[in-house]
């Protein structure tokens, strides 16, 4: 035997990859239904479910259908839903007045879902984009050149109280205005809702991955463009340090959970935040991330299930403690469908003598 065939490597990491059970034993990251939050869109009316073209499998649901969907989601042991209203254009105004209407769609939906499925955690967005005719997350300044930060914060603080009153467990300000977490915390506490949590969309980037969502809630068409520019309030995708400033401020101002959004293209931010804070970290796998996996799968270029699972695993591995994803229900179904055979159902086997 010549010397070359006897190469001895001290470390052979492949040893731990050779069987399924060994690989399972050393697996570092797993996705559980406890990690998942399902975003859902609600519309007015009865008995209707409208498909959203750019988000295959996602639908806008009337409240009766939404309740059924939430019951199923609770059965799958998904931890929470994030509800978004999709309003008729006629209800949208320059100042988003409908956001403070006590009988607005989202509040009616929350009251009904909370009653029908009390164990399910309900999260709602606190931002004006579903309500404004221009599709921005706040009201505009006098010259209409930009969103007016402080006027918007005042409205959001009132809106959060209405949501808490309707039964929302976690309000999620997604507007990226300065100082909104402190204002919302104060107004919730003053109204007696000190148990309502705040999930802050802290590092929310001005991303092109929100396109399909804007179709879903009609905020893109309301603005008359698919390129609604939110760059004066959402973060520049180039900036990591600025993202850390935003998360730090939200933590100081009283946020309970900090979120990074989008998720997949911003894994570095998720990891950095996980290393920096002791608060729970959420990540939002947004509509565009969902759409691109579906689109590639439809063309036969990617395997839908495998790519989906890998995308979520990566977000969790990066440090997210919880993930908002439109795949939540599909993934939960897959997780829960693993039926262990009961002892009675085990096939007869010959275990040999004495057993």
Applying CB under 6 A, the residues found at the interface with ligand PBG are 125, 127, 129, 137, 174, 210, 213-214, 230, 286-287
Rounded least distance, CB 146 to ligand PBG, Å: 16
Cα dihedral across residues 13, 16, 17, 18: positive or negative: positive
Separation between Cα atoms, residue 198 and residue 258, nearest integer Å: 9
Q: What Cα–Cα distance (Å) separates residue 66 from each residue in 106, 185, 188?
A: 11, 29, 27
Buried b (16+ CB within 10 A) or exposed e, 36-54: bbbbbbbbbeeeeebebeb
Residue 230 annotated to the active site: no
- Of 217, 219, 208, the closest CA to residue 134 belongs to 219
Residue with Cβ nearer ligand PBG (79 or 83): 83
Rounded least distance, CB 209 to ligand PBG, Å: 6
The DSSP output letter for 256 is S
Rounded least distance, CB 325 to ligand PBG, Å: 9
Rounded least distance, CB 221 to ligand PBG, Å: 13
What residue spans of 177-300 are helical by DSSP H? 180-190, 211-217, 219-222, 240-253, 267-276, 287-298
The DSSP output letter for 208 is G
- Of 157, 146, 141, 22, the closest CA to residue 99 belongs to 157
Residue with Cβ nearer ligand PBG (137 or 250): 137
Rounded least distance, CB 255 to ligand PBG, Å: 16
Residue 204 annotated to the active site: yes
Cα dihedral across residues 156, 164, 161, 41: positive or negative: positive
- Give the residue closest to ligand PBG by C-beta: 213
Catalytic residue chosen out of the listed positions 92, 112, 204, 230: 204
**Structural contact between residues 319 and 247, judged by C-beta atoms closer than 8 angstroms:** no
Helix (H, G, I), strand (E, B) or coil at 180: helix
What count of other Cβ atoms lies within 10 Å of the Cβ of residue 242? 13
Rounded least distance, CB 338 to ligand PBG, Å: 28
Rounded least distance, CB 112 to ligand PBG, Å: 22
Residue with Cβ nearer ligand PBG (235 or 279): 235
Distant-in-sequence, close-in-space partners of 167: CB < 8 Å, separation ≥ 6: 110, 111, 114, 115, 122
Residue with Cβ nearer ligand PBG (62 or 174): 174
Residue with Cβ nearer ligand PBG (164 or 283): 283
Residue with Cβ nearer ligand PBG (75 or 226): 226
Residue with Cβ nearer ligand PBG (64 or 97): 97
Separation between Cα atoms, residue 162 and residue 140, nearest integer Å: 22
Catalytic residue chosen out of the listed positions 92, 112, 230, 261: 261
Check whether the bond before 262 is cis (ω within 30° of 0). yes
Residues annotated as catalytic (active site), given as ranges: 204, 261
């Amino acid at each position: 035997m010549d010397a070359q065939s006897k190469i001895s490597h001290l470390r052979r990491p492949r040893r731990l990859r050779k069987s399924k059970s060994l690989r399972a034993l050393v697996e570092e990251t797993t996705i559980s239904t406890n990690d998942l939050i399902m975003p859902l869109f609600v519309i007015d009316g009865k008995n209707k479910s409208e498909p959203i073209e750019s988000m295959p499998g996602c639908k806008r649901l009337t409240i009766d259908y939404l309740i059924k969907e939430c019951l199923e989601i609770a059965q799958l042991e998904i931890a929470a839903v994030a509800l978004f209203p999709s309003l008729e254009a006629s209800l949208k105004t320059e100042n988003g007045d409908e956001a403070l209407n006590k009988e607005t769609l989202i509040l009616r939906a929350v009251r009904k879902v909370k009653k029908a499925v009390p164990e399910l955690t309900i999260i709602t967005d606190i931002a004006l984009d579903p309500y404004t005719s221009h599709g921005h997350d706040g009201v505009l300044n006098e010259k209409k050149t930009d969103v007016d930060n402080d006027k918007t914060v005042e409205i959001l603080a009132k809106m959060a109280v209405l949501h808490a009153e309707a039964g929302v467990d976690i309000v999620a300000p997604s507007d990226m205005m300065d100082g909104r977490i402190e204002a919302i915390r104060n107004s919730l506490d003053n109204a007696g809702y000190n148990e309502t949590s705040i999930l802050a969309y802290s590092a929310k980037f001005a991303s092109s991955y929100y396109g399909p969502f804007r179709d879903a809630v009609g905020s893109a068409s309301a603005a008359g463009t698919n390129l609604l520019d939110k760059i004066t309030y959402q973060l520049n995708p180039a900036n990591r340090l600025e993202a850390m400033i935003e998360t730090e401020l939200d933590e100081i101002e009283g946020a309970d959970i900090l979120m990074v959004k989008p998720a997949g293209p911003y894994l570095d931010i998720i990891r950095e935040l996980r290393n920096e804070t002791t608060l729970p970290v959420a990540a939002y796998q947004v509509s565009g991330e969902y759409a691109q996996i579906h689109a590639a799968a439809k063309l036969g270029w990617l395997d839908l299930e495998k790519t989906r699972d890998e995308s979520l695993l990566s977000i969790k591995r990066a440090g997210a403690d919880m993930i908002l994803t439109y795949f939540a229900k599909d993934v939960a179904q897959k997780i829960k469908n693993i039926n262990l055979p009961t002892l009675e159902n085990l096939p007869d086997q010959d275990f040999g003598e004495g057993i």
